[in-house]
Amino acid sequence: MKLPIRKEYFDAIKNSVKRHEYRDAHITFVCEETGETISRSICDVELIKACDVPERYKDKGLFEDDVLIRFELER
């Protein structure tokens, strides 16, 4: 995940001074084919091991890390 951040906060994270990050609790998704966008609020977040993701997501080159963030989206 890549997030833009101001230099002062970047430096604080780099120097281990800043240990928490706050962002708005929504995600805007952009369809790769059409460019259409849709936003959904996040109602829950969970850290899971990559080996615990559903089979349909495994071995597709989607994830690089051993721990993933699972966002539950509002309907």
Q: What is the pLDDT of residues 5-53, one digit of tens each?
A: 999 999 999 999 999 999 999 999 999 999 999 999 999 999 999 999 9
Apex 45 CA angle, 40 and 49, nearest 5: 125
Domain that holds residue 46: 7-73
Count of C-beta atoms within a 10 Å radius of residue 38: 9
In a domain, 25, yes or no: yes
In a domain, 2, yes or no: no
Cα gap 21→9, rounded to integer Å: 9
User: In the structure, what pLDDT confidence band is assigned to residue 59 with cuts at 50, 70 and 90?
Assistant: confident
Q: Tokens 């994270």 label which residue?
A: 13
Cα gap 59→63, rounded to integer Å: 9
**Do 40 and 26 touch, CB atoms closer than 8 A?**
yes
User: What average pLDDT does range 44-70 have in this prediction?
Assistant: 90
Q: How many domains does the structure of the chain reveal?
A: 1
In a domain, 29, yes or no: yes
In a domain, 1, yes or no: no
